[in-house]
Amino acid sequence: MKKLFLLFSLSLFLACNTSAEKETKTNQTTETEKAQDSVGNFGIVIHGGAGTILKENMSDSLENAYKAKLEEAVRTGHEILANGGTAIEAVQRTINIMENSPLFNAGKGAVFTNEGKNELDASIMDGQTLNAGAVSGVTTVKNPINLAWEVMENSEHVMLSGKGAEQFARERDLEIVDPEYFYTENRFKSLERLKERNSEKTELDHDGKTAFVDPFIKDSKFGTVGCAALDKNGNLAAGTSTGGMTNKKWGRIGDAPIIGAGTYANNKTAAISATGWGEFFIRGVVAYDISALMEYKKMSLAEAAKEVIQNKNPDLGGSGGIIAIDHQGNVSMEFNTAGMYRAKMNKSGELEIGIYSKL
């Protein structure tokens, strides 16, 4: 009887082992197939913010300026990828182009806080290692995305803020500028206009009619910049940089520097960068939600992005959009606002630039 039991246990052990081995092999095959799928393929997609961007409010010269800067940025990243550079490098350098332009709400063109300052946020994530870096509330770092990269690569942390982040930037020899560098007349006027309209809104609030809903935020443009890229080795990366929202107070931080909300990248799924009303993107964990729908529900990037941006985000009361690229090079540029500055380029060098809901 004892012998029989031993024999039975042995065969059970062998059977389990073989099936576990098979399962590991299948998993390995799927991972290898996925990696092979994308080897040699590459692509890049960017945004320069979403919001109430209407053709009737845009002059031809401004529209051309936006298109030219989007093209310069996307081509910069594309060239890096075409020459065998990494997705992370492409994301960082592409974002630098937009950060250095006064057209976008990031770096040079950052919006003003209620106190008339510029407080910048940024984050970057590597889809191969799931390593990430983020900074918030910096006021003297010319290119916050570079500081986010330094946090990822050269510190044991993921997120640094304010004075400490700036000290780290100096220690890493990043370019430091006088806060004056971020002054642009346009953005300052926007702050003044918003303050004026908000004083009218306060009266409405006393009526109890508009409590909790700021009609002027809903009607805003969000000029954050972001980039997602797939490199020739099948690695994904994403990054986002912003000045946040005009008239922000109390050290407010939006979704852009929050890994999982404004930025997320995972080689298993996609690289994603968001723009929009940050509070709702944080509450909806938007970038990670898209990745999770792909990973656990096996949705395609297009299906996942549509579900989150066209259903979940507006249902919560938010607005905005995302750009994303998956491990096969499929791209999504999904938004629920009137427009989103955006551009993409694939392996063959096909370029698409868009501003309004129709390209």
Residues that bind ligand ASP (CB under 6 A): 49, 105, 222-224, 242, 244-245, 254-256, 275-276, 278
255 is annotated as contributing to ligand binding: yes
Question: Which one, 195 or 347, has the nearer CB to ligand ASP?
Answer: 195
Shortest reach from residue 49's CB to ligand ASP, in Å: 5
252 is annotated as contributing to ligand binding: yes
Task: Determine contact, residues 44/78, Cβ cutoff 8 Å.
Answer: yes
Question: Which one, 109 or 234, has the nearer CB to ligand ASP?
Answer: 109
Question: Which one, 49 or 284, has the nearer CB to ligand ASP?
Answer: 49
Q: Give the Cα separation of 266 and 269 in Å (integer).
A: 6
277 is annotated as contributing to ligand binding: yes
Shortest reach from residue 64's CB to ligand ASP, in Å: 22
259 is annotated as contributing to ligand binding: no
253 is annotated as contributing to ligand binding: yes
Question: Which one, 127 or 278, has the nearer CB to ligand ASP?
Answer: 278
139 is annotated as contributing to ligand binding: no
Structure tokens at 115: 């106190």
Shortest reach from residue 184's CB to ligand ASP, in Å: 15
Active site residue 224: yes
Output the residue with the shortest Cβ distance to ligand ASP. Answer: 278
Shortest reach from residue 223's CB to ligand ASP, in Å: 5
Identified catalytic residue from 94, 140, 224, 269: 224
* Residues in contact with 264: Cβ distance below 8 Å, sequence separation at least 6, in sequence order: 125, 238, 271, 272, 287, 288, 290, 291
258 is annotated as contributing to ligand binding: no
254 is annotated as contributing to ligand binding: yes
Task: Determine contact, residues 98/69, Cβ cutoff 8 Å.
Answer: yes
For residue 227, the cross-strand partners are 46, 239
SS in 3 state form for the chain? Answer: CHHHHHHHHHHHHHHHHHHHHHHHHHHHHHHHHHHHHHCCCCEEEEEEEEECCCHHHCCHHHHHHHHHHHHHHHHHHHHHHHCCCCHHHHHHHHHHHHHCCCCCCCHHHCCCCCCCCCCEEEEEEECCCCCEEEEEEECCECCHHHHHHHHHHHCCCCEEEHHHHHHHHHHCCCCECCHHHHCCHHHHHHHHHHHHHHHHHHHHHHHCCCCCCCHHHHCCECCCEEEEEECCCCCEEEEEEECCCCCCCCCCCCCCCCECCCEEECCCCEEEEEEECHHHHHHCCHHHHHHHHHHHHCCCHHHHHHHHHHHHHHHHCCCEEEEEEECCCCEEEEECCCEEEEEEEECCCCEEEEEECCC
- Residue positions forming the annotated binding site for substrate: 252-255, 275-278
Q: Which residues are catalytic?
A: 224
- Residue positions forming the annotated binding site: 252-255, 275-278
